Structure 1
C-alpha cells in the first residue's frame, strides 16, 4: 500500500509539472505559430523572481509567486514587441531569435545570481501513514494544474480575447478585415503564455533546485507534451500530461529518472508515428466516425 501511495504522489507531481510547463507553450504555438525556444528560460525567470521576492524582498511565498507571474508577463510582452513580432511568418527565424534569447537569459542569470539559489520551504506540510510520508504541496500542485486548464478553457470560450484569438487562428486576414487587431492578439497571447511559464517556475521553486540551466529540462518536456497532445490546447495538454505523467512516474519510480526520460521519448515517437495529429487529433477523428455511423 505504501508503494502505491508513493507512486500516486509521484504521478501527481509529474502530471502537474508536465501540464503547467506545457500549457503556456501550447497557447503561443497554437495561436501564433511561434516555437518559443526560450520557454524554459521564462520558467527559470519565474522561479528566480519567486526566490528574489521571498528571500531578497522578504515577501510571503504567495506574494512572491504573484510577483513572478507579473514579471514574466511584462517581460514576455516586451520580448514580443521588440523581438518576436519581427519574425511572424518565418518559423526558422523565430526559433533562432528565441534560442538566442534563451542563451542570453541563462548566461545573464548566471552572471547576476551565480550557480544556485537558497531553497524555499515547501508549504502545507506533509501527510503520513506508517512508513508513507509525502508533501501535501504535490496535491495542491495537481489542483492548480487542473485549475489552470479550466481557466484557459474559460478564457478562450467566454471572453472577447478568446473570440478574437480563435478568429485569428482560423483566418487572420479575414479577422483583420472584420476589425480584429491581430497584433494586439499576438501581444496578449505571448504575455499570457509567458505568465503561465512564470507561474510554473514560481510553483516549482519550492520543489526543485533553482539554477540558470534549469530551463532546458522543462523546455524538452513542454515540447513533448504539446506534440503528443495535438492541436487542442486544453484537452491536448490535459490528456498528454496525464498519459506521459503516468509513464514517467511509473518508470522513474521502479527504475530511475534517466530510464523514465528514455521511455517518455519512446512513447512520444510512437504517438507521433501512429497518431500524427496527436491524441486530440485521434479523439476528434474517432468522434467524427461515431457521429457519421450514428447518422
Structure 2
C-alpha cells in the first residue's frame, strides 16, 4: 500500500473518532457521571446546530455563534433538570420515559419551527492534499477541537472546586449536603453542562452536517454505545472507545465499504459489552 493512502486513512479515521467523541462528551457527563440516561441528547445536539445556524444567518460570525449556542442549550438543559430530572433521580426507567417524551416534543417543535429542509451556513471549504489524495480540511480541525474539549472538561472535573463538588454530589449526596454543598444547584449545572456540550457538538458539526430536526439521531446511538462501553471512567474511557470504535469503523469503511464499517462498529461493541458488561474501565484505578 502507498504511504500516502495509509496517511489519508489514518487522518480520516482520527477525524471520525474526533466527531464521535465530540458528540458523545455530553452523554459522558450526564450518563457517565450522573447516571442519568438522557434520551433527548440528540435533540440538544440538534438545538445547538439550529441555534448556531439562526445566529449566523442573523449576521453574527460563525465562531461567535458557537458559545451563544452553548449558552442557549445550557439554559434549556437547566430548566429541564429543575422541572423534570430533579424529581426523578434514582428512578432510571422513569427518567428514560421522561427524556424520551421530551425528545419527541423537541423534535416536533423543530419541525414546526424550521421545517424539514437542510439549510447550510455555506462556510468556505478547503482541502488538504496528501500525494494523490485529498481530505476535507474542516474534519481534520475537529481532531484538535476534540482534544482541547476533552482536556478542558477533564481539568474542570478534576482541578476545580466545582468538579469536586459535582462528583461528591453524585457519589455521596447526603454527605455532600452535610458539609454544605448545595447538591441540587450543582446537579443542575452538571446536567446543563452535558446539554451545553451536546449543543456545542451540534454547532461545531454544522459546517459538515446540515441542520435537520433528526440530525442528532445519526450520533445518538453510537454516542450512547461508546459511553456504555467506556464504563464508569466516563471521560478517559469515552475517549478510548471513541478512538477504537469510531476510528476502527472508519478504517474498515475505507478499506472495504461503509456498510462493513457500520458492521464493525456494532459487532465490536457487542463483543466488548459481552466481555466487559460493566464497561472496559470497570477495573481501572482512574476515576474520571
TM-score tier after normalising by the smaller chain length: over 0.9
1:251-290 alignment, distance < 5 Å = 251-284=252-285
1:120 aligned counterpart, secondary structure: coil
* Runs of 4+, deviation exceeding 3 Å: 121-124, 282-285
> How many angstroms apart in 2 are the aligned matches of 1:237 and 1:6?
24
Deviation at 1:169, TM superposition (A): 2.9
> How many angstroms apart in 1 are the aligned matches of 2:123 and 2:251?
24
Residues 136-159 of structure 1 deviation map (CA, whole Å, 9 limit, x = unaligned) = 222220111011111111111111
Deviation at 1:124, TM superposition (A): 6.6
Corresponding residue of 1:12 = 14
Q: Please list every run of 5 or more consecutive structure 1 residues that lacks an aligned counterpart in the other structure.
A: 286-295
Corresponding residue of 1:136 = 137
Deviation at 1:248, TM superposition (A): 1.2
- In the alignment, is the contact (CA less than 8 A) between 1:51 and 1:117 conserved in 2? no
1:111-190 alignment, distance < 5 Å = 111-122=112-123, 125-190=126-191
**TM-score normalized by structure 1?**
0.91
2:30 aligned counterpart, secondary structure: helix
1:280 aligned counterpart, secondary structure: coil
Residues 4-31 of structure 1 deviation map (CA, whole Å, 9 limit, x = unaligned) = 2331232122111111111111111133
2:135 aligned counterpart, secondary structure: strand
- Is 1:37–2:39 an aligned residue pair? yes
- In the alignment, is the contact (CA less than 8 A) between 1:116 and 1:209 conserved in 2? no
> How many angstroms apart in 1 are the aligned matches of 2:54 and 2:97?
29
1:95-110 alignment, distance < 5 Å = 95-110=96-111
- In the alignment, is the contact (CA less than 8 A) between 2:227 and 2:238 conserved in 1? yes
Corresponding residue of 1:289 = none
Corresponding residue of 1:59 = 60
> How many angstroms apart in 2 are the aligned matches of 1:257 and 1:211?
22
> How many angstroms apart in 1 are the aligned matches of 2:280 and 2:257?
26
Residues 86-117 of structure 1 deviation map (CA, whole Å, 9 limit, x = unaligned) = 21111111101100111111111111111123
